[in-house]
């Protein structure tokens, strides 16, 4: 009986040591990925799928802690780094260029080192379905962004965001709301923008307001894109 207990204890220690070694290896890979600026992009095999579009220059680190849904588009030069807490991104999520999503932070409220010590605090991040995240947004640890949310460009999201809210600023605050009835109608009818539509110029439509009429007086170049003029009255000079 004693020999069995000793054997079990040895095996348990070996198992824990192996897990620690595996985790340390993953942390080292993640560290090299983040701080080696020679990396132009890093997209793990897990995220090289037909229903997920990841643009050049984007880094996705800690893939075993990250889950990305269907029909998602991630713009260029984004960094999404997870672990050991998870990052979950829903379906039909569009993330514009230069966004940063990290779920780790440093501890600073102790006497070990300045400006912070080498301990990490990891908190989960969740992004719901049908979310649009504008350019250069930063999403911090512990944030939950509910479905249908729009995050304005340049925002720093420090707190959770309710369904169909429009947020902006640093820190991000609610600045408006989606039309919830229209949102539910579009969800029910499954009218989702396809990720491959963004790559086809023929599917783009631009609305140019009348106050840009001086610009429009120049001949427009040949293009596949549809250009419409909005009927708003011009701004007087």
Q: Are residues 51 and 120 in the same domain?
A: yes
Q: Residue 107 has what pLDDT?
A: 78
Q: Are residues 55 and 157 in the same domain?
A: yes
- Among 207, 156, 151, 6, residue whose Cα is nearest residue 164: 151
Position of tokens 């894109």?
225
Q: Are residues 106 and 204 in the same domain?
A: no
Q: Which domain holds residue 3?
A: 1-38
194 assigned to some structural domain = no
Q: What is the pLDDT of residues 84-105, one digit of tens each?
A: 889 999 999 999 999 999 988 8
Residues designated as active site: 106
Q: Residue 45 has what pLDDT?
A: 72
When comparing pLDDT for 35 and 46, which is higher?
46
Contact 91, 195 (CB under 8 A): no
Rounded CA separation 124/104 (Å): 9
Q: Are residues 34 and 55 in the same domain?
A: no
> pTM for the full model?
0.72
Q: Are residues 34 and 131 in the same domain?
A: no
Contact 120, 106 (CB under 8 A): yes
> Is pLDDT at 4 greater than 60 in this prediction?
no
Mean pLDDT of the chain: 77
Q: Are residues 169 and 222 in the same domain?
A: no
Confidence of residue 235 (pLDDT cuts 50, 70, 90): very low
Query: Picking from 2-11, 183-192, 195-204, 219-228, which range would have the lowest pLDDT averaged per residue?
Result: 219-228
């Amino acid at each position: 009986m004693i020999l069995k207990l000793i054997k079990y204890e040895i095996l348990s220690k070996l198992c824990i040591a192996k897990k620690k070694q595996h985790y340390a290896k993953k942390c080292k890979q993640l560290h090299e990925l983040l701080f080696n600026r020679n990396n132009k992009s890093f997209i793990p095999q897990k995220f090289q799928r037909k229903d997920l579009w990841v643009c050049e220059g984007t880094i996705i680190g800690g893939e075993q802690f990250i889950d990305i849904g269907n029909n998602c588009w991630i713009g260029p030069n984004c960094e999404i780094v997870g672990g050991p807490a998870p990052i979950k991104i829903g379906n039909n999520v569009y993330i514009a260029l230069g966004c940063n999503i990290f779920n780790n932070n440093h501890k600073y409220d102790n006497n070990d080192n300045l400006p912070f010590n080498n301990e990490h605090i990891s908190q989960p991040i969740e992004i719901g379905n049908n979310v649009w995240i504008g350019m250069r947004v930063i999403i911090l640890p512990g944030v939950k962004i509910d479905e249908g949310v729009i995050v304005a460009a340049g925002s720093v999201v420090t707190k959770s965001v309710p369904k169909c809210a429009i947020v902006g600023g640093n820190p991000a605050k609610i600045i408006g709301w989606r039309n919830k009835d229209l949102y539910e109608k579009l969800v029910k009818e499954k009218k989702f923008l396809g990720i491959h539509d963004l790559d086809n110029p023929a599917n783009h439509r631009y609305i140019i307001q009348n106050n840009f009429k001086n610009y429009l007086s120049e001949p427009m170049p040949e293009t596949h894109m549809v250009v419409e003029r909005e009927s708003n009255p011009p701004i007087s000079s």
